[in-house]
Amino acid sequence: MPLNLKGRSLCSMKDLSTDECMQLLHRAIDMKTELRAGRAAVPLAGKTMAMIFQKPSLRTRVSFEAGMTQLGGHAIYLAPTDISIGQRETTEDIARVLSRMANIIMARTFGHDIVTDLAKYATVPVINGLSDFEHPCQILADLQTVLEKKGRLQGLKLAYVGDGNNVCHSLLYGGARVGMYVSCGTPDDYRPNRTVVAEAAEIAARFNAKVEVVADPHAAVRNADVVYTDVWASMGQEAEAEKRKKVFPPYQVNARLMASAKPDALILHCLPAHYGDEIDFDVSRTPNCVIFDEAENRLHVQKALIVSLLGV
């Protein structure tokens, strides 16, 4: 079936079917090829994206802003002090006002409910650029990177080690959706949301895949095709950082842990990285580590997402 996302929003990896996800990834790869060959189209002339930020950003802001520019459109950065969602103005009013002035909205927020409320009240597509519960754009870039490097997704084992956070949640949904075996190695007190795990397991079962959550990082990584990690304390959890540093060292991605994975296993990290904590610097600079390809692919997959949601 042709990819048809026009007018829809992306709040969660659950919002995409398997076919839609795969077609979106292939469209991103095609757009990446066209850009590098100097044949990139500019179908968004006169189109505007409103970008709402409650959290600071490097990759999210630059990838969306550069992407809109490359597509011939324009992106407006709205800092936390510009809007103050829920304080200066309600989420509903912000959604309704921006829908009158912009063609698409991207939001990088703390509460996931802010993203879903924006999508509820906006009359234009809304993209979740990150919330405390999910990070779908990151996972689309991750899947694109694995597809480019491995040539397939279905049947691969992806091991995530560290905190059961928003990235972990979207990996569970996204990996299950494309038929990957997703194994999460997390400390018992930092496991991903139980509902997410159960829903992802149900999705995975349709593709003869599975998801699991284990406490032993070496068990999670054993025979993995992809090993993924993220910071131990996300934005908003700074007060817990010292406590977490006492819990997470066994989950560091280093040479010893990677010895449990396949020799050609890819290493992913959504960045920014805290070298010496969740990932060893030397390991991050090995040929198997593709974190900068992964970061670049945020640009390409988000461009594919934007034009698909706008129907151009």
Q: Write the DSSP assignment of 87-121 as a string of letters.
A: TTB-HHHHHHHHHHH-SEEEEE-S-HHHHHHHHHH
The verdict on whether 230 is a catalytic residue reads yes
The verdict on whether 218 is a catalytic residue reads no
The verdict on whether 87 is a catalytic residue reads no
Cis status, amide bond into 56, omega within 30 of 0 = no
The verdict on whether 21 is a catalytic residue reads no
CA distance readout (Å), 255 to 97, 187, 288, 301: 51, 20, 12, 30
DSSP state of 76: E
Structure tokens belonging to residue 312: 């151009």
The verdict on whether 135 is a catalytic residue reads yes
Query: Which of these is catalytic: 117, 298, 300, 302?
Result: 298
The verdict on whether 108 is a catalytic residue reads yes
Query: Which of these is catalytic: 54, 138, 144, 302?
Result: 138
DSSP state of 44: T
Query: Which of these is catalytic: 270, 277, 289, 302?
Result: 270
Q: Write the DSSP assignment of 213-272 as a string of letters.
A: EES-HHHHHTT-SEEEE--SS-TT-GGGHHHHHHHSGGG-BSHHHHTTS-TT-EEEE-S-
Instruction: Of 166, 275, 270, 274, give the one whose Cα is nearest residue 226.
Output: 270
Query: Which of these is catalytic: 27, 59, 112, 135?
Result: 135
Task: Give first-to-last CA distance, the chain, whole Å.
Answer: 17
Query: Which of these is catalytic: 117, 142, 225, 230?
Result: 230
Query: Which of these is catalytic: 27, 59, 108, 269?
Result: 108
Contacts of 195 by beta carbon, 8 Å cutoff, 6+ apart: none
The catalytic residues are: 108, 135, 138, 230, 270, 298
